Amino acid sequence: MGVLNLTPDSFSDGGLWMDPSRAVDRAEEMVAQGADLLDLGAESTRPGGGVYGNGAQTVPVEEELDRLLPVLERLRERVSVPLSVDTRKSAVARVALEAGADLINDISCLSDPEIAVVAAESGSPLVLMHSRGDLASMQSRIHFDDVVAEVIQDLAGAIERACQQGVSRDQIVIDPGIGFGKNGQQNLELLLRLDELQQLDRPILVGASRKSFIGAVIDQPAASRLPGSLATIAWAASQRAAMVRVHDVAETVQFLAVWEAIDSAGGPP
């Protein structure tokens, strides 16, 4: 899953793709590099209370759509890969699906419960990413006794709430929410024990690309964290993740191609 942030303030590529023509070019480049789907985000979700200070500002619906639609509409005519909309708002999700988006990526785990209704009505896949509390303060109020067990429990609850709104379990993809309301050690533990999330019997998406817990292991700025990001990808692949959300598509595609070639070199079991 290639990341395309149509924002002025995303933590690693903010401001790079604000111009719709440049954004469409970048999206086509990621498809040519082997991205299987693209995730379009028009609101940064940097959590507050930690390394990102007060975190990202909430963007009004109209502004989010003004950033998103010119790119989404043009891209829909030009690429055939599925397009995901990274949003917390049902109003944005609804319009995006009408404009040709294929799936909803909700990093707030149904903070707007209507998102589940939109997914139920459209039948589109729905990513439920784990996060607790509000974005503005989630890095200052972290408490888990057992981060993996509690993430699994919270995701099970979110799946249940989505299904109560008419979403079918088959539509749901789960995500541990690396970097959202967790400290560095908890992010590492979530990756270490990622396979335990398989008990929810849903495909797992992991978004660890360039995140600050990598910078805590090796002191590098976001744009220089590709090698560390690839380590998280190797780990996610070994834990049977179905998808990885990345900024560096070409490098990740090559990395995973070789990883998979080694993994399957023994032939079928």
What does residue 21 show for φ and ψ, rounded to 5 degrees?
A: -65, -45
Total Cβ atoms within 10 A of residue 128 = 31
| Residues 82-101 contacting ligand HH2, CB under 6 A | 86
* Tokens found for residue 106: 């909700």
User: Taking CB under 6 A as the rule, does residue 44 contact ligand HH2?
Assistant: yes
Length of the chain as a residue count: 269
Residue 232 sits in the site that holds ligand HH2 (CB under 6 A): no
Any contact of residue 178 with ligand HH2 (CB under 6 A)? Answer: yes
Choice from 12, 33, 58, 220 touching ligand HH2 (CB under 6 A): 12
Q: Between 46 and 94, name the residue whose CB sits nearer to ligand HH2.
A: 46
Q: For this structure, is 182 an active site residue?
A: no
Q: Determine which residue in the list 20, 41, 48, 125 makes contact with ligand HH2, applying CB under 6 A.
A: 41
Instruction: Select 5 or 139, whichever has its Cβ closest to ligand HH2.
Output: 5
* Interaction of residue 107 with ligand HH2, rule CB under 6 A: yes
**Distance (Å, whole) CA 104 – CA 132:** 19
- Whether the CB-CB separation of 6 and 14 falls below 8 Å is answered with no
6 in contact with ligand HH2 (CB under 6 A):
no
CB 151 within 8 A of CB 195: no
Full strand arrangement of the beta sheet holding 172-175: 2-5, 38-41, 83-86, 103-106, 126-129, 172-175
Concerning whether 245 is annotated as a catalytic residue, the answer is yes
| Count of residues interacting with ligand HH2 (CB under 6 A) | 20
Quick one: 11 or 255, whose CB is closer to ligand HH2?
Answer: 11
Interactions with ligand HH2, residue window 131-160 (CB under 6 A): none
Does 204 engage in binding with ligand HH2 (CB under 6 A)?
no
Q: Which helix (H) or strand (E) holds 5?
A: strand 2-5
Minimal distance in Å, beta carbon 111 to ligand HH2?
14
Q: Residue 163 burial by CB count (10 A; 0-12/13-18/19+): exposed, middle or buried?
A: middle
DSSP 3-state assignment of 200? helix
Q: Which residues bind ligand HH2 (CB under 6 A)?
A: 3, 5, 7, 10-12, 41, 44-46, 86, 105, 107, 127, 129, 175, 178, 205, 207, 245
